[in-house]
Copies of this chain bind each other. A is one copy, B any other.
């Protein structure tokens, strides 16, 4: 296939695979698409290790890195001791919730180490994200830097361009897209309300063509609700230059979710992927659980702002995960979760997506001929 983005990156298929897991990124680029590593939850050291690991295996094929550039929220200071930055009432709320559910606390030493490490991984200061960027720029197969949330600062965009890389950004409406255009992004990722993670309110069916028209000639990748060839074909019919998928890789054997987490996703219906502030403090589509419902129904204690709510959730969610109490676990996932039923692989998803795409085209052409 040939579109603006296959030309831009020299790839065979305009399918972009967002994942926090390096194995998914590697396999997606190997399959002819492009893997995008989500760096938001890694320390700079971890990012360096992951990029080195990918670079050594990817045979020069291109891949990307997705970085949070603080802009639309108050960045943290470097002092991020959870006991100092989280209100006591909020810590009590989550601890009580887990206690009442009979979920044992973490062993004390583990708890302290975990909380500190978890807060460190947030990397939510401008210097954090620029360190991650510098690391990404040193890795020769990284060809695409994506801003996960809001517009990256102009000097960041310029720096990426000076290195010969392209800049992308996720957007959920026209106003956000205009801001990205102003700072000079090369690719927009239009994320419909079906998507997992931080989402806007406009559904993919309406959002994608709106952005394609308003932002031309900037190519638009379609995100939100794509997991199979029919949806890939729909994205291309709606004028997208390619597809951006995230949730669908969570069910692959390359994903770093545990088998019990994957099972939980396989059981979920599309309507279990709800928009809530429970996980991050911003509207985020996540798997509904007792943890998310406790926040959504709480009248007194309200979710903290981003990224404090994410830091707050680290320990209780780790508690639930540790004893496999998945009824109190949650994870960012889109409505496509309702179609994920069993373990598969990145390669298999690519093969099925392409096979079904071709089938769809045959059906559509036959419909018109008759």
Measuring CB to CB, which residues of chain A are less than 8 angstroms from any residue of chain B? 1-3, 173-174, 192-194, 200-207, 209-210, 224-226, 228, 230-231, 233-239, 269-271, 274, 334-336, 338-339, 358, 360-361, 364-365, 367-368, 370
Residues of B within 8 A of A334 (CB): 206
Assess A231 versus B210: contact at CB under 8 Å? Given A1-B367, A2-B367: no
Query: Nearest Cβ distance between residue A241 and chain B, in whole angstroms?
Result: 10
Residues of B within 8 A of A194 (CB): 202-203, 205-206
Whether B226 lies near A209 (C-beta < 8 A) is no
Residues of B within 8 A of A239 (CB): 230
Q: In the complex the two chains form, what is the Cα distance from A237 to B243 in whole Å? A: 15
Whether A225 lies near B206 (C-beta < 8 A) is yes
What are 11 A-B pairs at a CB distance below 8 A?
A: A1-B367, A2-B370, A192-B205, A193-B203, A194-B206, A206-B339, A210-B270, A233-B237, A234-B234, A236-B364, A237-B360
Partner of A233, one of B2, B207, B364: B364
Query: Nearest Cβ distance between residue A250 and chain B, in whole angstroms?
Result: 15
Whether B339 lies near A210 (C-beta < 8 A) is yes
**A interface: dominant SS:** helix
Assess A205 versus B233: contact at CB under 8 Å? Given A365-B365, A367-B1, A367-B3: no
Assess A201 versus B271: contact at CB under 8 Å? Given A206-B339, A209-B230: yes
Partner of A204, one of B1, B174, B205, B338: B205
In the complex formed, the residue of B with least CB distance to A200 is B271
Q: In the complex the two chains form, what is the Cα distance from A200 to B231 in whole Å? A: 20
In the complex formed, the residue of B with least CB distance to A337 is B206
Assess A228 versus B209: contact at CB under 8 Å? Given A1-B370, A271-B201, A370-B1: yes
The CB with the most chain B CB atoms within 10 A, among A228, A238, A338, is that of A238
Query: Nearest Cβ distance between residue A27 and chain B, in whole angstroms?
Result: 24
Residues of B within 8 A of A370 (CB): 1-2
Q: In the complex the two chains form, what is the Cα distance from A234 to B238 in whole Å? A: 6
In the complex formed, the residue of B with least CB distance to A339 is B210
Residues of B within 8 A of A235 (CB): 234
Residues of B within 8 A of A226 (CB): 205
Residues of B within 8 A of A204 (CB): 203-205
Q: In the complex the two chains form, what is the Cα distance from A224 to B235 in whole Å? A: 16
